[in-house]
Amino acid sequence: MAPFLTPISTTQFFFFLALMTFLLNLATGDYVLYNGEVLMPGQNLTNGPHHLSMQPNCDLVLHHSGKLVWTTNSTFNSSSNGNGSCYAALKQNGELVVRRDVHYILWTSAKKAKKGKYALVLDSTGRLGIYGSRRWVSNNPKEHGPGATRPGSTIDTEYVLHSGKRLLMGKTLKYREYELGLSKYCNLVINSTRSGKTLWQTNTKAATCFLELENNGELMVKHGSQRIWSSNRKGDKGRYIAVLRFDGRFAVYGPILWFNAKFDDSTKNDYPPIDMIKEEIITWEMD
Ligand SMILES: *[C@@H]1O[C@H](CO)[C@@H](O)[C@H](O)[C@H]1NC(C)=O
Ligand SMILES: *[C@@H]1O[C@H](CO)[C@@H](O)[C@H](O)[C@H]1NC(C)=O
Ligand SMILES: *[C@@H]1O[C@H](CO)[C@@H](O)[C@H](O)[C@H]1NC(C)=O
Ligand SMILES: *[C@@H]1O[C@H](CO)[C@@H](O)[C@H](O)[C@H]1NC(C)=O
Ligand SMILES: *[C@@H]1O[C@H](CO)[C@@H](O)[C@H](O)[C@H]1NC(C)=O
């Protein structure tokens, strides 16, 4: 053991655990983990039939309809410290780690990048991806400030837009009380359905339009081929996501830094190579 590593006591660990559990109260149906957040034993990211679970035995496992499709193989057995003293965390450099007893790393995604804001997403096809760093964020104030809790409720709405896809008029992204959509006259709006307040808007106007996330991370409101609003932030070509966050802000992360390769194979047909995305403009719908 390196001299600077101090084993922590069980009491300390449970204090840490209680603190983290307080900070991140995942709702069923949360499928985005932001950096600085941890997945504690018993907590899951869930997207439809896909579950990413941090198990008490320190293994981080991905199930599709109950079938195991991916695992970090980080099972740790210890008579003194086993059961519950592990967690998964997304670090500020975009690295996903499974740790035990705070200090010890059992597994790492190994892809590191510059310090920034990253997001781990379990998407609707069951792929895990780490996106970042953040390219753009809407300039409305955070609705709850850092460390906001997400009360344990069920989320069954889509709140991520993937690059190459469009959000059409009449469709919305929705995360808990926050809703993003295009109004009748093409104003892109974030609303709080609880307070009825408009939190952010583009003040755009047109007869018809759609919102699109380009494969360079630029968000655009377009009327046909004409752009009527842009986030004006571009990056390298790749896979990006735009997420309606738990704090009521809309943010773009990418390009993708890491994804779980094994599951990639089995979803090959759903994901064309990155350089084909530009041609693949899919009409994206939700119920
Ligand atoms: C987490 O996922 C597992 C399946 O991997 C499931 O058995 C368990 O009920 C889920 N827990 C929560 C809190 O959703
Ligand atoms: C876990 O172990 C299996 C079997 O050896 C292997 O196929 C898989 O790639 C491992 N998972 C990771 C994330 O390395
Ligand atoms: C931990 O315990 C489980 C169940 O007893 C066993 O299957 C696994 O091989 C053990 N892992 C290690 C690393 O000892
Ligand atoms: C972990 O918990 C399981 C079930 O609660 C129990 O059977 C097992 O003995 C525990 N292992 C350790 C190392 O405490
Ligand atoms: C936002 O709220 C206003 C007023 O309640 C409503 O007219 C509008 O349709 C809402 N827009 C979205 C995108 O939810």
User: Could you report the per-residue pLDDT of 113-160, keeping only the tens digit for each?
Assistant: 999 999 999 999 899 999 999 999 999 999 874 344 555 567 778 999
The CA–CA distances, whole Å, from 244 to 55, 236, 261 equal: 28, 22, 26
Best probe residue, ligand 4, of 83, 86, 100, 101 (max atoms within 8 Å of C-beta): 83
CA nearest to 126, candidates 179, 181, 76, 68? 68
Q: Is any ligand 3 atom within 6 A of the Cβ of residue 75?
A: yes
Determine the distance separating the centroid of ligand 3 and the alpha carbon of 78, expressed in angstroms. Answer: 10
For residues 28 and 57, which has the higher predicted lDDT (pLDDT)?
57
CA of 155 to the centre of ligand 1 (A): 15
Q: What is the pLDDT of residue 226?
A: 95
pLDDT at 20: 55
Q: Which of 93-97, 178-182, 261-265 has the lowest mean pLDDT?
A: 261-265
The whole-number pLDDT of residue 274 equals 37
Q: What is the pLDDT of residues 214-259, one digit of tens each?
A: 999 999 999 999 999 999 999 999 999 999 999 999 999 999 999 9
Number of C-beta neighbours around residue 29 at 10 A? 18
Share of the chain above pLDDT 90, in %: 62
Note the pLDDT of residue 176.
Answer: 87
Q: Helix or strand or coil: residue 277? A: helix
What's the mean per-residue pLDDT of the chain? 82
Please tell me the number of the ligand nearest to residue 42's CA: 1
Question: If you average pLDDT over residues 60-65, what whole number do you get?
Answer: 96
For residue 196, give the ligand 5 atom closest to its CA: 5
Which pLDDT score, from 0 to 100, does residue 36 have? 87
Q: Does the C-beta of 262 come closer than 6 Å to ligand 2?
A: yes
As a whole number of angstroms, the distance between CA 32 and CA 69 comes to: 19
The whole-number pLDDT of residue 144 equals: 73
Q: Which ligand has the shortest distance to the CA of 82? A: 4
In the predicted model, what is the mean pLDDT of residues 169-185? 94
Which ligand is in closest contact with the Cα of 262? 2
**Site to substitute for ligand 3 among 58, 72, 75, 81, most atoms within 8 A of C-beta:** 75
Per-residue pLDDT at 262: 43
